[in-house]
């Protein structure tokens, strides 16, 4: 390849492009790679040049193409990013820096390198997603020329490509790169199967072409009748996708359905549906093969109608879409540089939400291996579409439950969810959601994420948020314990508990377990005629001899109780009203915040008897947010 081919390609879609800048970047890179050759024997500059050309085919902007030309300069020679910045400005320097960071970890051990380089790649792109697109083009050119590497290296790189880069291209909607990466990797990993499919595919070519021509002319005739403008194209099938279908559907090559595949490209969405109607009236649709990705676009921006019919005793697959949808299907996120700028496009940001989720999760995830697993799962999961009560569509991986949905709506909704109403019926949070469900999440201010949710949820986002919520929760009880250390010292409350045959025994309620009337209790002798009272399950002093004892049923004195609760508006008023509403004579009440959203309330009232105390405690315990009650 030569520079002028690249310039020509750029001019095709961007006649006003600053081609001098591209030439300057080329010369600069050429100078630094001057004496270097690739394993193929070509000059090294061919690699950045081809990488840049792939980006020009995707119609990327000038800074991306310049950065592609310069992408190996920093890594392979001793040029600093600072130098690139002086010569080409900050934007291009940042792109080169991003790509360099990804490749730098090449020399670490295998397991580490995979995980780390992906982290870096994604991290770099938090600032600019073009870094990933440049990296994908770099990867694509390397895969095209992989045959010059030793076998072991080829296998390893191909596996990585299949695991990480092809799915990434898919998620960014860049189908053209995705297919090619997959087929190139497949060829390395399963050479025999690849060859077999290729041969069989070749043998059937003539037959297929005749069939396609026949179908095409029938459709074109019908379109004319209906006065619809559209292009009917035969569609190339990719070997890896054929192989995948053979595996997942347990079919032989001859049984694979959609070897005959057509694509129809038209002007408007309305035409798409009309064409679908025409095809379904010409031939019998195959049940379960129709998908409307126009009304419900995939999270990678892909839009199209899919259907399959039986035509002339064989299955034929159709894709129907507008020209813009077709561009986006082939180029994905890259297509956006053609129509709109990067910044200030709200819709664009929305469409990148998946990527942001992944980025966030890997920044928060403590374990890199875990992150890769998450990434792999998310990339391959099928999607379902569900609705908020207002009718907003939310796409989730298949198998998701209401908790996933709640987190997709908002972190606070997820953290505080207690139940779900699906299609008007209350269902457990763990219930799997189905396509088209309408979900209303029930929340409570004092709810917290639960550890067992981690086993139920499917989405990366939910997992990350739940872990974060759990960490936060752990911090809160730790702080409470710090503020209220278990005191071994105990308080004397002579007449609360009756110890048989020991009428004058002194009683102290232990503070380690803070027993309250209603609890089953035991007494242990701490010194002559003095007993400490514990809950029966309290482990403290459990080895000492213990007496089973009963609460005095006629506790008729001023009682102080302390209540620890999540702080909220109206908490104190609720406690106050609860006690007053029983007609109790409230002597004193106060509340204070003890930090971390917790409050401590103390109340003093005159009890009539022990049941009265139990009644008040059980009423307060039912109040929202109350965590602990004890006698003071």
Q: Which is nearer to Mn ion, 139 or 534 (CB)?
A: 139
Q: Could you tell me how many residues make up the chain?
A: 632
Q: Which is nearer to Mn ion, 104 or 627 (CB)?
A: 104
CB of 125 to Mn ion, least distance (A): 16
Which parts of 242-281 interact with Mn ion (CB under 5 A)? none
Q: How many residues bind Mn ion (CB under 5 A)?
A: 2
CB of 72 to Mn ion, least distance (A): 5
Asked if 624 and 568 touch (Cβ cutoff 8 Å), the reply is: yes
Name the β-bridge partners of 438: 387
Asked if 236 and 290 touch (Cβ cutoff 8 Å), the reply is: no
Asked if 371 and 115 touch (Cβ cutoff 8 Å), the reply is: yes
CB of 71 to Mn ion, least distance (A): 6
Stretch of residues binding Mn ion (CB under 5 A), selected from 132-140, 269-277, 345-353, 434-442? 132-140
Q: Which is nearer to Mn ion, 40 or 618 (CB)?
A: 40
Residue 541: Cβ within 10 Å count: 17
Stretch of residues binding Mn ion (CB under 5 A), selected from 67-75, 235-243, 317-325, 435-443? 67-75
Per-residue x/- track, 86-125, Mn ion (CB under 5 A): ----------------------------------------
Contacts 24+ apart (CB under 8 A), 239-247: 239/183, 239/186, 239/187, 239/194, 239/197, 239/198, 239/201, 240/179, 240/182, 240/183, 240/185, 240/186, 241/179, 241/182, 242/197, 242/201, 243/186, 243/190, 243/193, 243/194, 243/197
539: number of CA atoms within 13 Å, CB side?
Answer: 1
For residue 483, what are the contacts with CB-CB under 8 A and spacing of at least 6? 594, 595
Pick from 259, 328, 260, 249: which is nearest to 293 by CA? 328
Structure tokens belonging to residue 502 = 């020991």
Pick from 263, 259, 248: which is nearest to 200 by CA? 259
CB of 185 to Mn ion, least distance (A): 17
For residue 53, what are the contacts with CB-CB under 8 A and spacing of at least 6? 1, 5, 6, 9
CB of 96 to Mn ion, least distance (A): 11
Binding status of residue 72 toward Mn ion by CB under 5 A: yes
Q: Which is nearer to Mn ion, 103 or 530 (CB)?
A: 103
Going along 185-280, which residue ranges are E strands?
230-234, 261-266
CB of 137 to Mn ion, least distance (A): 9
Q: Which is nearer to Mn ion, 51 or 327 (CB)?
A: 51
Evaluated on CA atoms 212, 216, 217, 222, the torsion sign reads: positive
DSSP letter for 164, please: I
Chain centroid, CA 131 distance in Å:
20
> CA–CA separation, 401 vs 454, rounded Å?
11
Q: Which is nearer to Mn ion, 71 or 493 (CB)?
A: 71
> CA–CA separation, 450 vs 463, rounded Å?
11
CB of 240 to Mn ion, least distance (A): 23
Binding status of residue 415 toward Mn ion by CB under 5 A: no
CB of 124 to Mn ion, least distance (A): 15
In the complex, which residue's CB is closest to Mn ion? 138
CB of 432 to Mn ion, least distance (A): 44
Residues catalogued as catalytic: 75-76
Q: Which is nearer to Mn ion, 145 or 291 (CB)?
A: 145
Q: Which is nearer to Mn ion, 99 or 386 (CB)?
A: 99
Phi, psi of 416 (to 5 degrees): -105, 10
Pick from 57, 59, 58, 86: which is nearest to 70 by CA? 86
The residue from 128, 138, 183, 326 that contacts Mn ion (CB under 5 A) is 138
Q: Which is nearer to Mn ion, 138 or 211 (CB)?
A: 138
Asked if 300 and 332 touch (Cβ cutoff 8 Å), the reply is: yes
Stretch of residues binding Mn ion (CB under 5 A), selected from 134-142, 161-169, 337-345, 433-441? 134-142
Contacts 24+ apart (CB under 8 A), 152-157: 154/188, 155/188, 155/189, 156/110, 157/188
Q: Which positions lie near Mn ion, rule CB under 5 A?
A: 72, 138
């Amino acid at each position: 390849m030569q520079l002028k081919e690249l310039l020509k390609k750029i001019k095709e879609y961007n006649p006003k492009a600053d081609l001098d800048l591209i030439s300057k970047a080329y010369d600069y890179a050429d100078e630094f790679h001057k004496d270097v050759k690739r394993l193929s024997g070509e000059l090294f500059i061919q690699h950045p040049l081809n990488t840049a050309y792939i980006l020009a085919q995707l119609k990327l902007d000038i800074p991306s193409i310049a950065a592609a030309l310069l992408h190996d300069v920093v890594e392979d020679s001793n040029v600093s990013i600072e130098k690139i910045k002086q010569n080409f400005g900050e934007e291009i320097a940042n792109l080169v820096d991003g790509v360099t960071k990804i490749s730098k970890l090449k020399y670490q051990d295998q397991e580490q390198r995979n995980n780390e380089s992906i982290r870096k790649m994604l991290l770099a792109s938090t600032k600019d997603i073009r870094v990933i697109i440049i990296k994908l083009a770099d990867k694509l050119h390397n895969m095209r020329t992989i045959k010059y590497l030793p076998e072991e290296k080829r296998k390893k790189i191909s596996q990585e490509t299949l695991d990480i880069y092809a799915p990434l291209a898919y998620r960014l909607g860049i189908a053209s790169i995705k297919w090619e990466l997959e087929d190139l990797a497949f060829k390395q990993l399963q050479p025999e199967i690849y060859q077999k499919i290729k041969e069989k595919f070749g043998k059937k070519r003539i037959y297929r072409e005749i069939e396609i021509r026949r179908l095409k002319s029938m459709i074109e005739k019908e379109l004319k009748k209906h006065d619809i403008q559209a292009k009917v194209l035969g569609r190339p099938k990719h070997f890896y996708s054929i192989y995948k279908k053979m595996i997942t559907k347990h079919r032989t090559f001859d049984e694979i359905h959609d070897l005959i595949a057509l694509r129809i490209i038209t002007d408007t969405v309305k035409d798409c549906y009309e064409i679908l109607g025409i095809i379904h009236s010409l031939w019998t649709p195959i049940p379960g093969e129709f998908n409307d990705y126009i009304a419900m676009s995939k999270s990678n921006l892909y839009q199209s109608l899919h259907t399959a019919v039986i035509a002339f005793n064989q299955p034929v697959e159709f894709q129907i879409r507008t020209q813009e949808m077709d561009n986006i299907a082939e180029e994905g996120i890259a297509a956006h540089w053609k129509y709109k700028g990067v910044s200030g496009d709200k819709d664009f940001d929305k469409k990148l939400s998946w990527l942001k989720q992944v980025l966030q999760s890997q920044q928060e995830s403590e374990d890199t291996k875990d992150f890769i697993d998450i990434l792999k799962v998310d990339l391959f999961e099928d999607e379902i579409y569900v609705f908020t009560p207002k009718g907003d569509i939310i796409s989730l991986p298949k198998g998701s439950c209401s908790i996933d949905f709640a987190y997709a709506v908002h972190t606070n909704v997820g953290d505080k969810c207690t139940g779900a109403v699906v299609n008007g019926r209350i269902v457990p949070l763990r219930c799997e959601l189905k396509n088209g469900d309408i979900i209303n999440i029930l929340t409570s201010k004092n709810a917290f994420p639960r550890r067992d949710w981690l086993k139920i949820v499917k989405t990366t986002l939910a997992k990350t948020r739940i872990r974060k919520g759990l960490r936060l929760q752990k911090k809160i009880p730790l702080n409470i314990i710090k503020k209220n250390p278990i005191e071994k010292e105990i308080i004397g409350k002579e007449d609360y508990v009756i110890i048989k045959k020991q009428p004058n025994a002194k009683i102290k309620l232990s503070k380690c377990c803070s027993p309250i009337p209603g609890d089953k209790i035991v007494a242990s002798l701490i010194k002559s005629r003095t007993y400490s009272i514990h809950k029966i399950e309290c482990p403290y002093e459990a080895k000492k001899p213990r007496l089973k004892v009963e609460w005095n049923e006629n506790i008729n004195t001023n009682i102080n109780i302390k209540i620890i609760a999540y702080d909220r508006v109206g908490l104190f008023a609720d406690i106050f009203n609860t006690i007053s509403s029983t007609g109790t004579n409230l002597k004193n009440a106060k509340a204070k915040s003890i930090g971390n959203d917790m409050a401590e309330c103390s109340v003093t009232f005159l009890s009539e008897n022990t049941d009265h105390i139990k009644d008040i405690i059980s009423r307060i315990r039912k109040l929202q947010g109350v965590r602990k009650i004890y006698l003071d």
